[in-house]
A and B are shown apart, each in its own frame.
Chain A
Amino acid sequence: MAFLEIKNLQKRFGPVEILKGIDIDLDRGGFLVLVGPSGCGKSTLLNTIAGLETISGGEIHIDGHMVNDLHPSKRDIAMVFQSYALYPNMTVKGNIAFGMEMRGVPKAEREKAIASVAKTLQIGHLLDRKPSQLSGGQRQRVAMGRALVRNPRVFLFDEPLSNLDAKLRVDMRTEIKRLHAATGKTIVYVTHDQIEAMTLATKIAVLKDGEVQQVGTPSEIYNHPANLFVADFMGSPAMNLIEAEAAEENGRTVLKLTRGGQGDVTLAAPATLTVSPLAAGRSIILGIRPEAITDREGADRNSRALEMVDGLVDVVEPAGSDTFVVTQLGGKAITARMRSDTVVKPGATFPFAFNLDKAVVFDPGTGRRL
């Protein structure tokens, strides 16, 4: 039995369905990231786990106990809020101690717990300050300290890094990951940032319009997206989604792509295809990540399905560590990710290496992966 189980969870505000039957479970010590665009219901889902929002149907179990009707304080959870929600009238110490104070933990024990948490988060020198005297990163640490000190069964994080500047965000991300590794706590984390999701999670749930699109490990989500939405949402730059047509050639399935004015391109169907054979003439969408399109030298040597395609170089975007090259294929701009020292000029024809081991195929009607 999983440590955290969410079964057919529903949430309605009047006639509006916010959550439409969510099923997710998470093992003890897991790091679940709920990710999705704004308005997808991820924060609502987190609040229902916390008990801050009531649910309209379904069940939530923590460690084998149903917590549906339990008050937030009785669920043995701790939460880190987006705005940090530090009590402005109390010192850092008072903030961290408040939860224990409310639970009647003796003073000596509180002091010990605060000292230990302050050491872990390196906020010992801030204990007597008020939240208004702290920087964003320090507030973030205090908010985590307040959650950590209670030693709850589940930690809930609601977009904790979204108020920090870019550099600090990356630092704190690493810190949270380290904290998770060190404490082995069960964490549910909400974000709209797919990079945060990929780097932190042991399990990702992608949500859209109150429905789970896919639940899986970061690698499953990234390499085998269940549908077009997940494919498009996860990864930056986004996965190339190219319209193509299935055909049969020499007894094997191939994909035909139109190439602006230069005749069609024929690619072998990817090995990831689960529906085989594809009916000839069927329209599909080929999904291939930018890093699976390279120059010949940069291609994966272990790839069993490398195909060379000549393309007219449209735009070259050097990003320092990589160079992104844009070409037209299937009527769309396709981004390829090359090594930074690749010599490629806009307007020239360039041989692109497609690693079809990493490609996936979707049904354009249902959006599902085939």
Chain B
Amino acid sequence: MSLAAAGGRRAGGLKASRVVIYSLLAVFAVIYLTPLFVMLVTSFKTMPEIQDGNMLDLPRAPTLAPWARAWGEACVGLTCAGIKGYFWNSIKMVVPAVAISTALGALNGYVLTKWRFKGHTLVFGLMLFACFIPFQSVLLPMATILGNFGRFGGSLENTIGTSLGFGNATENLVFVHVVYGLGFTTLFFRNYYEAFPTELVRAAMVDGAGFFQIFRRILLPNSLPIIVVTVIYQFTNIWNDFLFASAYAGTGDAMPMTVALNNVVNTSTGVVEYNVNMAAAMIAALPTLLVYVVAGRYFVRGLMAGAVKG
């Protein structure tokens, strides 16, 4: 406040306040980026170099060996086949979970704005409430439900020869994330469609389009910004989730990346391989980074659009 006020009085003051502001920002940026920097440089160093040198030094002889080791040889618990399998586990879980929760959110938003029914505000209020439920409080009830799924899958297996995926750990996680994400995706799409011109929907009705035709041909093609926002949000959240992943797929073949990373770091074979751990962590972070880089432009635009119109 005082800085800004002083800056307003004379040009010299303005300059001084700018210097202060920018140096403060620079300090915070350094504090924020230093761990990332350390991770990156460490992941390209050899173990002797890490043990001898300074944490902040650039690698003397950059090597990709820690990355290769993290990907293909690092030990997770008793198996030493790297994190690649778990990386694919995460992909197999995240892609369907994001796709389904986004699609359902869009459909919910469409119904809640363009096909309103009695009590639609209550339904939306309840869905909004879902955004505020703490994760921990649903852990045990959800475990019970997933246990029932498992038993149902087992009996299906016995009667028709296939469990249809019931009880499968990956599919359990997809289910959990879809249910949990629905509140957010519905919120995003509802606010976006609230500002979507109803006359377009009416025109399509007069033109003879049905419920799903209007959704598919009119709403969805004009929803790119909010789809991108939702996908980024859901992808980041589900990919980074550790609690549900460790609770419902903490052991076994379906273990997602986040849990595996934790296990890599915790698995001790004598020496702590910092370079491999850092490389594994970087690999675990890459997909979300990639999503932001590719679609971040839309993310900001979409959030703005919601903020102004919603």
Residue contact B202 to A81, C-beta cutoff 8 Å: yes
Interface on B for A, CB 8 Å cutoff?
197, 199-200, 202-209, 213, 217-218, 221-222
Q: Which residues of B contact A50 (CB under 8 A)?
A: 202, 206
**Shortest distance between the CB of B193 and any CB in chain A (Å):** 14
Alpha-carbon separation in the docked complex, A52 to B205 (Å)? 8
Residue contact B218 to A87, C-beta cutoff 8 Å: yes
Q: Which residues of A contact B222 (CB under 8 A)?
A: 88-89
Residue contact B199 to A82, C-beta cutoff 8 Å: yes
A-B contact pairs, 27 of them (CB 8 A): A50-B206, A52-B202, A52-B206, A71-B205, A72-B202, A72-B206, A73-B205, A78-B206, A79-B202, A81-B202, A81-B203, A83-B197, A85-B197, A85-B199, A87-B200, A87-B217, A87-B218, A88-B200, A88-B222, A89-B218, A89-B222, A99-B208, A102-B207, A102-B208, A102-B209, A102-B213, A146-B203
**Shortest distance between the CB of A326 and any CB in chain B (Å):** 42
The 5 closest A-B pairs by CB, nearest first: A73-B208, A99-B207, A89-B221, A102-B208, A85-B203
Alpha-carbon separation in the docked complex, A142 to B221 (Å)? 20
Q: Does A77 contact B (CB under 8 A)?
A: yes
**Shortest distance between the CB of B276 and any CB in chain A (Å):** 48
Q: State whether A85 and B202 are in contact (beta carbons under 8 Å apart), knowing that A99-B207, A102-B208 are contacts in the complex.
A: yes
Interface on A for B, CB 8 Å cutoff?
50, 52, 71-73, 77-79, 81-83, 85, 87-89, 98-99, 102-103, 146, 150
**Shortest distance between the CB of B249 and any CB in chain A (Å):** 40
Alpha-carbon separation in the docked complex, A145 to B69 (Å)? 65
Which of A78, A83, A98, A103 makes the CB contact (< 8 A) with B204?
A98
Residue contact B218 to A73, C-beta cutoff 8 Å: no
Which of B204, B208, B217, B221: most chain A CB closer than 10 A?
B208
Residue in chain B with minimal CB distance to A103 = B208
Alpha-carbon separation in the docked complex, A98 to B203 (Å)? 10
**Shortest distance between the CB of A238 and any CB in chain B (Å):** 32
**Shortest distance between the CB of B272 and any CB in chain A (Å):** 55
Q: Which residues of B contact A82 (CB under 8 A)?
A: 199
Q: State whether A87 and B205 are in contact (beta carbons under 8 Å apart), knowing that A81-B199, A82-B199, A102-B213 are contacts in the complex.
A: no
Alpha-carbon separation in the docked complex, A73 to B205 (Å)? 6
Residue in chain A with minimal CB distance to B200 = A85
Residue contact B207 to A98, C-beta cutoff 8 Å: yes
Residue in chain A with minimal CB distance to B218 = A87
